[in-house]
Amino acid sequence: MKVLSGIVGLVLGLLPCSLVNLSAFSIPEIVVKAKPAIVQIIAVDANQNPLKRGTGFFITGDGVLVTNDHVIAGAADLFAQTDTGAIYIFRSVIFRSVSLDLALLKFAATGVPYLKLASSVHVAEGQRVIVIGRPEKLAETVSDGIISAFRNNRSSIQITAAFSPGSSGSPVLDESGQVIGIATSTSKEGQNLNFAISVETLKTAFLTSVDQPRTTDRWDPAQP
């Protein structure tokens, strides 16, 4: 319960600033400071064979991580790997939503760099954003762009910053290096049609789930 309370405080924005110094404003500075908190998620089957890869990022120093639900769907186990090759072991699902394509996971970690969740309420069309992802079998890839539009009552953010397969779950950062969205999908029907889930959607969904009865913290790999 103490751990859950701490996460609730984090989502509400009541915890102290993250260990990653987010005072930088140039893109190279933001990238250097944010990269250590971003990992590649490796989903494996029951025989520990890789099924797929995605991206995630830590939001606490003790291993709480955000990614997309479709990154973990169907896996028997998960691992998180940094750009230095360090591996973190999966412990439990804190929250997941198939419909919103969001997952909040706990990994065995202490003292890891992490990113701060900002508010996406006041971000505006035309504002610059940066995406740092881990495409399939590649190291971090950086792209920048602008917010093109808001969809579905601002729960979805359309951006021009591109990302490739394997980058689902990447943080979408504002010009202060804080997270305003989670990269989730791209459209092949047009140019630069990329979409992210707003941070407010994550906050609202998680806080709502806290008020619901919790049956188990164990992950059921049979879930979709």
What is the spatial distance between Cα 46 and Cα 77, in angstroms, rounded to a whole number? 7
Question: Rounded to the nearest 5°, which phi and psi values hold at 68?
Answer: -85, 150
Q: Are 34 and 115 in contact (CB under 8 A)?
A: yes
Q: Is 145 exposed, middle or buried (0-12, 13-18, 19+ CB in 10 A)?
A: middle
What is the spatial distance between Cα 83 and Cα 137, in angstroms, rounded to a whole number? 11
Residue type, 216: T
- Give me the residue label for tokens 């950062």: 173
Active site residues: 70, 101, 168
SS3 164: coil
